[in-house]
Amino acid sequence: MRAAAALVLVLALLARSEEPKDPSKDGPYPAGWHELSVPDDKEGATLAAAIYFPAMKAGEDAARADGGPWPVCVFSPGGPASSWQGYEDFGKRFASWGVVTVVVAFGDRPAEKRAPQLTVVRDWLAAQNGADEFDLKGKLDTNIFISAGHSRGGAAAILAAADAKKWAGAVTIGAALRELPKGYATPTFLIGAPEDKTLPALYDAQKKPRWLAVVAGMDHFMKPASARATVVAYSMAWLGARFLKIADFRSWTSGDRGKKDLKDGVLAGFKSEE
């Protein structure tokens, strides 16, 4: 009986290990986080932020996990970006799969002036990676920085990512932008709502590889919650497929899952060319 029970347990564990990895669920790491101040592009000024990272346990001020170095995402809220709060679901999901994410209260500036702020934070994080007092010393993959944001923050993320030497990619949600910067060539995942009318033109203007997902029944503010969850999942899928080399995530960004969600009405639009 014991042998049979042990065999059942082993088979169950093997089956679980073979289950496809799912970006709509948290990954193998608990997500730790803490608040921090990051530099602004005005000398001596700082911005409030939160950093999310793979941890030993979930929660504020948790110890970092073993492993790394991990890619880094700098994320801008939408609108006036008066607080870093409100995007915890993105930060925690990204961190749980192994993407360190810094959400910054950039303040009420237009996208063109917010873009340099993203790059200042990026450069500061790269420098901090070698500092003894930095909790994540040596844990940031300074070859992979991704800009990200929602609405005005999404526009700023694209404008910042025009510097492909500093940014390996961009994730934008409802980017409030009419056209791409001249010569734009940074791999960028576009996702948003049917009312985000400029997204198809932004997609068409991109060089390959390129991606676009339009979430059915969602407004520009990522409501309802079920649609927002779809945005988080697809954003994580793109990050994981491209920068973490998670093969299962490719079906979301370039394969059958995206096509299925389009057929089932989860998505109102889906395109990818790699």
- Residue 8, domain member (yes or no): no
Residue 262 zone, left/alpha/beta (φ > 0; ψ -120 to 50; rest)? alpha
- Residue 15, domain member (yes or no): no
- Residue 212, domain member (yes or no): yes
- Residue 7, domain member (yes or no): no
- Residue 254, domain member (yes or no): yes
CATH code where residue 90 lies: 3.40.50.1820
Predicted pLDDT of residue 11: 44
- Per the listing, tokens 């901090």 go with 128
How many distinct structural domains can be found in the chain?
1
Predicted pLDDT of residue 115: 98
- The per-residue pLDDT string of the chain (274 residues; one tens digit each, 9 = 90 and over) reads 445 443 443 444 344 456 899 999 999 999 999 999 999 988 889 999 999 999 999 999 999 999 999 999 999 999 999 999 999 999 999 999 999 999 999 999 999 999 999 999 999 999 999 999 999 999 999 999 999 999 999 999 999 999 999 999 999 999 999 999 999 999 999 999 999 999 999 999 999 999 999 999 999 999 999 999 999 999 999 999 999 999 999 999 998 999 999 999 999 999 999 8
Cβ-count burial 182-218 (b if 16+ within 10 Å, e if not)? eebebbbbbbbbeebebbeebbeebeeebbbbbbbeb
- Residue 144, domain member (yes or no): yes
Per DSSP, helices labelled H in the chain are 2-17, 88-97, 111-128, 152-161, 199-205, 225-243, 250-254, 256-263
CA distances from 227 to 79, 122, 213, 231, 260 (A): 19, 29, 12, 7, 16
Secondary structure in 3-state letters for 213-227: EEECCCCCCCCCHHH
Predicted pLDDT of residue 8: 40
- Residue 3, domain member (yes or no): no
Please spell the DSSP secondary structure of 167-184, one letter per residue. -SEEEEES---SSPPTT-
Cis status, amide bond into 54, omega within 30 of 0: no
Boundaries of domain holding 99: 22-273
**Tens-digit pLDDT profile for residues 121-180:** 999 999 999 999 999 999 999 999 999 999 999 999 999 999 999 999 999 999 999 999
- pTM equals 0.92
